[in-house]
Structures are given as structure tokens and as C-alpha cells.
Structure 1
């Protein structure tokens, strides 16, 4: 990402950014077929990362509360009703993808 792209992103009005974030979260809540392990393998982040990021941004709830906001249900319910076991290939793809993440 270039410095120019970062400036444009930083200048995005907060209400627009918030609306886009909420749309992303609702999309992920609807598309529970997109498993977290697959998101991690492709993009290097998942729903749990989003929960961590809202905490980093100032959300006052604990990790479980943040995950409930993002998943739309308690984590235990998500795991029981939505999460499938990860394959060795998915784990390997996740590890390779996460290795590409940069620290901002």
C-alpha cells in the first residue's frame, strides 16, 4: 500500500468507514459458510481478528463480548453450529498467509 492510499483511507469520514465496517460484519455473519480458517488462509484475518481489532480500537467489552458482536452470537454457539474442523491443508494455508501479515 502506498502512502497515498493510506492518506485517502485516513481521510475517509468516520461515518462512512463505520457503515462499511458494519456491512462487512453483517456479510460475514450471513456467510457463515466462509470459515475463519479459510479467511485466514486467504486474507490473513478472520472474524476473531475483527473482534480483537474492535477491542484495540476501544471497545470496552472483553474478548468474549467482542467476538459475540462480530459473530452475532456467543463464540460457543458459533463453534457448535457453524465451525467445521480445519484440514491440514487449511492450517498450512493459514500459517503461510499469516506469515505475510505486516505489523502496522
Structure 2
């Protein structure tokens, strides 16, 4: 990657990000809590990162607009159709991970 010019590298990174979003969209059955437990990020994190990067560059990006981009639909719609209630095991794993990170 270091041999690529900045513009090409940026285009490849952007394309990989769009591919990640398509992959997540194709796997709506994968719940955010599962992503958090396994990889320490979720779809909401991606939206927050977009907002943070926009702010860092002096651009305004609304969090709800960023989530709609990541989810491919308004978050409330995605949540109503695809989000499942977290299991006790998922919640316990999430809480343990949070405690580990803080401790």
C-alpha cells in the first residue's frame, strides 16, 4: 500500500469501506451486539466514525444521516425490521468486555 499514491490509496480505502457496508447489509442477521462482542465495533460505531471524521475536516454530518448511510435505511426502520432482543449471554459478554476495557 505504501507504493500507492495518496489518491489511489484513498480511493481503495473508500471502496473497501463501501464493500464492508454492502457486506453488513447482506448480513442483517448479524446483530450489533455480536459485532461489539467480537470486534469491539458495530454499525453505530461506523456512523459515529463518519461524523467524527467529518468534524475533524470542518464538515457537518448529522449522526442520523450517517446512520442512514451505514444502515441503508433510517435506523428506526432497520431496528424495527432486523434488530433482535439481545440474549442474556450476549448482554453478559458485552458487560464483561466493557468492564475489561475500563479495568
The answer to whether TM tops 0.5 is yes
| Unmatched runs of 5 consecutive residues or more in structure 2 | none
Structure having the larger proportion of residues in helix: 2
| Larger Rg, first or second structure (1 or 2) | 2
Given the two structures, how large is their TM-score scaled by the length of structure 2? 0.79
Identify the residue that residue 50 of structure 2 maps to in structure 1: 54
Give the root-mean-square deviation of aligned CA atoms.
Answer: 2.3
| Unmatched runs of 5 consecutive residues or more in structure 1 | 1-6
Q: Which has the higher contact order (CA 8 A, sep 6+)?
A: 1
Instruction: List, as ranges, runs of 4+ consecutive aligned residues in structure 1 with deviation greater than 6 Å.
Output: none
How far apart are 1:96 and its partner, in Å?
A: 3.1
Q: Which range moved further: 60-69 or 48-57?
A: 60-69
Given the two structures, how large is their TM-score scaled by the length of structure 1? 0.79
* Aligned length, in residue pairs: 93
CA contact (8 A) 1:42 1:97 kept: no
CA contact (8 A) 1:54 1:66 kept: yes
Call closer, same or farther: CA 1:38–1:72 in 2, change over 3 Å. same
